[in-house]
Amino acid sequence: MTSSARASARRRGEEAEELAARFLAGRGLVIVARNYRTRFGEVDLVAHDGATLVFVEVRARSWSAYGGAAGSVDAHKQRRLVAAARHYLSRLRAEPPCRFDVLTVQGPQGAPAWIRGAFEAR
């Protein structure tokens, strides 16, 4: 992948994350962190949905081949998200109820699709 293609993909990802944050905030979630990075992985958005702490993976795809945006959150990606979430939780005094959501944006002008409780920590 060329540097301009990487920059373009990064920009699309940032735009999708901004869209996701606005979408979730419009539905009552409170965004508390963006792009929480650890050596284990990264969580795109961390939000409160009432008393529940939600770890959100944002996926944007311009095509639907190979399972599309939702299908790209495979077992390997889930393990990395869980590891990053555990790191985030280790910084808190008490562990709240948690959930893993996926928010997808399919196609160039796609509307966000929110998958609540997309997977569970193993």
Q: How far is CA 70 from CA 40, 50, 54, 93, 105, in A?
A: 21, 25, 17, 32, 9
Give the CATH architecture of domain 3-119: 3-Layer(aba) Sandwich (3.40)
Mean of pLDDT values over 24-47? 96
Q: At 67, is the secondary structure helix, strand, or coil?
A: helix
Q: What is the pLDDT of residues 39-96, one digit of tens each?
A: 999 999 999 999 999 999 998 876 655 555 566 678 889 999 999 999 999 999 999 9
Would you list the domain boundaries of the chain? 3-119
Phi (first) and psi of residue 115, to 5 degrees = -110, 100
What six digits make up the tokens of 60? 């944007």
What is the pLDDT at residue 74?
Answer: 83
